[in-house]
Structure 1
Amino acid sequence: MYIELDKDEYQIVRKYFNFNFQIPAVAVINKDFPGKIYVDNKKNPKGIIVWAISRWAYAYFELENLKRNREFFKELMIKEIAPIIDSLKEQYFEVYSLNDDYDKILEEEIEGFCLYNKHYENTFILNEEKFNRLDLKNIDGDVLEKSFPIIPEEYKNHFKITGMNKETEGMIFIVEGKTVSQCVNNGFEYDSKYFIDLDTFNEKKRKKGYASIVAYELIKKQKNKGMKPLWETREDNIPSLRVAEKLGFEKLERYPVYIWKKVIKK
């Protein structure tokens, strides 16, 4: 059985999410980012899912009652998450875990889903001394400020949640009139820390330093506001790891992420 918490009940689960990589969950709990929170019971929760809309969920489970937690997660996936994923035509749903002990709960078979992938991600924190020594020059294009929606447009019709129309700050790198790279404060903020999203869209434009420059400019701007960036990436994402190292980020945390895939009925 699962229960969806009302907004005035979110702080019930705050004490269970204390790592930097869980800041997206904390942003939801603090009502700074749109999401939903589900528990197995309100008084003393043993199973918790904090869903930061759109695809990211953060799990907390106590392991003394595996059967109960497995049923909690299965029922939630089938009755709540699957219908929304279907309506949005999404195929994947990610669950961020504390450790591999959660295999005992999250690797169970679930009707309508298959466990597509389990991998490990790292969160990095900026070494400001290293960053301050950088002097990245913008040669080939222009870096401009731009606001971005905190949530993709297509999600706004499916959730009656305050904050869906919020915007967040970012930078874009323009070459010959086209945006080739962008870096965004993705809206996951807590205690002056925020997560970065970085993309270079055209594969032919990669390995030219554009991503480093646009990230560098965003970090400088946010730094002037007293904000401290966090970088998150898969352990096997070598290009992302190289950019992080170049900018002065250092590894902070490691954790497993489970990707569930919706089974498409033929």
Structure 2
Amino acid sequence: MKLEGEIMYIELDKDEYQIVRKYFNFNFQIPAVAVINKDFPGKIYVDNKENPKGIIVWAISRWAYAYFELENLKRNREFFKELMIKEIAPIIDSLKEQYFEVYSLNDDYDKILEEEIEGFYLYNKHYENTFILNEEKFNGLGLKNTDGDVLEKSFPIIPEEYKNHFKITGMNKETEGMIFIVEEKTVSQCVNNGFEYDNKYFIDLDTFNEKERNKGYASIVAYELIKKQKNKGMKPLWETREDNIPSLRVAEKLGFEKSERYPVYIWKKAIKK
């Protein structure tokens, strides 16, 4: 039970981030690990520093990753509620955003993450998968591009609007990507999104205009990025929702195979009346 005046969360300083490292060990949690290792800008909140039983690692401009010990249920509910109201809400308000995503280990987290929170409502709960590359399948592809040009391009690790709101080391980092150009227009891009640990990295893939989809551009640009990163000894990870059929098709075509499944909770700011 929360005592009057008791603070339910603490934001860790950067030199304290390794306190929570042992709690994040799955491939899908590599974004959290990138924050913990100070390779990606973010914030880390705990219920206490000595023996944390509630942890939120927030990769700024992206998602948050949760760890909760369920025997500490009531306290973790208070921890998450207070954090959302006092820390998360003001930040996403200042950025004029509406959504906050939390990646979790399993459905047991419903007991904490499906609680009502002042100023928010649970907009969506869905499941996502992380995929690893079957290199034998990938090496046998030999995809060829005949419709346009594939070029290398650097991308900011954080959108410009976030740099104006946070003074966090690493905001100005750039990451590598590839773009597919048809008739002098970028129709598709694939990016190492900056979530790296050891020799693993996550891919972001976009084809912007619906009219340009189903033409193979996404497969080609992803194939070229993976080849380039592979020459550096890097291994790609693919992540998508279970109901994102186009993404699943591209992943399968490139030789990716499912390795992990987990629930994701999307909170949305409630409209004030």
Taking structure 1 as the reference length, the TM-score comes to 0.99
1:51 corresponding residue in structure 2: 58
State whether residues 55 and 92 of structure 1, in contact with CA within 8 Å, keep that contact through their aligned partners in structure 2. Answer: no
Give unpaired runs (5+ residues) of structure 2: 1-7
Q: What's the CA shift string for 1:120-179, capped at 9, x where partnerless?
A: 000000000000001111111100000000001000011111000000000000011110
Give unpaired runs (5+ residues) of structure 1: none
1:168 corresponding residue in structure 2: 175
In structure 2, distance between residues paired with 1:184 and 1:113 = 32
Cα deviation, residue 65, structure 1? 1.7
2:218 corresponding residue in structure 1: 211
- Give the SS at the match of 1:246: helix
Q: What's the CA shift string for 1:194-243, capped at 9, x where partnerless?
A: 00000000000000000000000000000000000000000000000000
Cα deviation, residue 263, structure 1? 1.1
Taking structure 2 as the reference length, the TM-score comes to 0.97
State whether residues 194 and 227 of structure 1, in contact with CA within 8 Å, keep that contact through their aligned partners in structure 2. Answer: yes
State whether residues 96 and 258 of structure 1, in contact with CA within 8 Å, keep that contact through their aligned partners in structure 2. Answer: yes
In structure 1, distance between residues paired with 2:69 and 2:61 = 25
- Give the SS at the match of 1:186: strand
Cα deviation, residue 265, structure 1? 1.4
State whether residues 35 and 53 of structure 1, in contact with CA within 8 Å, keep that contact through their aligned partners in structure 2. Answer: yes
Are residues 1:181 and 2:188 paired? yes
In structure 1, distance between residues paired with 2:187 and 2:121 = 35
In structure 2, distance between residues paired with 1:164 and 1:121 = 27
Aligned pair count reads 266
2:147 corresponding residue in structure 1: 140
In structure 2, distance between residues paired with 1:193 and 1:60 = 22
- Give the SS at the match of 1:109: coil
- Give the SS at the match of 1:85: helix
4+ residue runs of structure 1 moved beyond 4 angstroms?
Answer: none
Are residues 1:73 and 2:80 paired? yes
In structure 2, distance between residues paired with 1:55 and 1:258 = 13
1:98 corresponding residue in structure 2: 105
2:16 corresponding residue in structure 1: 9
Cα deviation, residue 191, structure 1? 1.2
In structure 2, distance between residues paired with 1:54 and 1:35 = 9
State whether residues 118 and 259 of structure 1, in contact with CA within 8 Å, keep that contact through their aligned partners in structure 2. Answer: yes
Q: Percent identity?
A: 96
In structure 1, distance between residues paired with 2:161 and 2:146 = 36
- Give the SS at the match of 2:240: strand
2:3 corresponding residue in structure 1: none
1:233 corresponding residue in structure 2: 240
- Give the SS at the match of 1:256: strand
In structure 2, distance between residues paired with 1:130 and 1:165 = 36
- Give the SS at the match of 1:23: helix
In structure 2, distance between residues paired with 1:24 and 1:47 = 18
2:5 corresponding residue in structure 1: none
In structure 1, distance between residues paired with 2:191 and 2:50 = 38
Cα deviation, residue 259, structure 1? 0.3
Cα deviation, residue 54, structure 1? 1.1
In structure 1, distance between residues paired with 2:208 and 2:62 = 21
CA-based RMSD of the aligned residues comes to: 0.5
- Give the SS at the match of 1:9: helix
Cα deviation, residue 55, structure 1? 3.2
